[in-house]
Amino acid sequence: MKTMKLGKTGRDVSRIGLGTWSIGGGSAWGGDHDLQTVVDTIREAPKAGVNLIDTAPGYNFGNSERILGKALEQMNREEIVIITKCGVTWDQEMKGDLFNKVNGIQLYKNLNSASIKREIEGSLERLGTDYVDVYMTHWQSVEGSEYYVPIQKTMDVLNELKAKGKIKAIGAANVDIHHIEEYLKWGDLDLIQVKYSILDRGIEEEIIPCARENGITVQCYSPLEMGLLSGKMPRDYKPVGAQIPKKWFQPENMQRAMDVMDEWKPLCEKYNCTIANLALGWILAQGDFLNLLSGASKVEEIRENVKSAELELDPEDVAMMRNMVEDLDK
């Protein structure tokens, strides 16, 4: 497995991280998985060279963190780089801006100091560890709302947690260029998580240049568009859960994306790889400061994802794939 430095921390991490949103199960993924299967999946990650594991309290009300915590009981904690998050809560006493409602339970966006301090303790307990390697703000505070918290205030408490050793580095997810610039005013920002796939390239104009200039690792989530770019879905696939409202799961868009994947098949033969390998390998080919966050709920899916980091795509093939998907936007 190829490695890279995590921001300015000096820590080596695998170029592919294991995302555990799906492992957490729940209604967003059509139900829960077999516990032993997903625990075994996490434990397989370092054996396959993947030492970076991402989770969040908001993934099925802490279930993703609890499952990771159970897996860690038989893993070497020092070998694993854990990312978890703050800012999405279901604490009915400490409310914030309305977020999703899941199974009748209201989720809130809340980045005030008291909430973050309460959240980190909950995460550490569920994970069964006394520190988190990267602590990220999951969603950014909404300007103009009664619950708005300036990034300076959020960074004050994150820097405090860092000084106490409860977190080792700070990250931010779902950010725009203005958020990033504001975070950098108040401390170190080593990791950002943003949506990036060959079908969704919105971060290329401003965020990628800024991250490159400031030594920030860009971790790309949903690089397979919630499974669409796995190439395994049948033409008559019916979206479930969180897939339903997504752009590329609308019937016409899904068929057009599948048409492009059919055109990639000669490349699969050329590189002896799958459609998913191509989609992930394409992202890694965009720059060595990019990291992939790819979900897996079975051991074989991790092994499949790892193959993507081993791909060496020819520049002309990278350009051809880009041209194909750019045609979809016309």
Annotated catalytic sites, by residue?
Answer: 59
DSSP string, 62-74: THHHHHHHHHHTT
Q: Report the distance separating Cα 154 and Cα 150, nearest Å.
A: 7
Separation between Cα atoms, residue 259 and residue 320, nearest integer Å: 15
Give CA–CA dist 169/6, Å, rounded.
Answer: 9
Q: What angle do CA 154, 156, 161 make, to 5 degrees?
A: 95
Handedness of CA 315, 317, 320, 326 (dihedral sign): negative
| Residue 151 neighbours by CB under 8 Å, 6+ apart | 140, 141, 179, 182, 183, 185, 186
C-alpha–C-alpha distance, residues 223 and 276, integer Å = 9
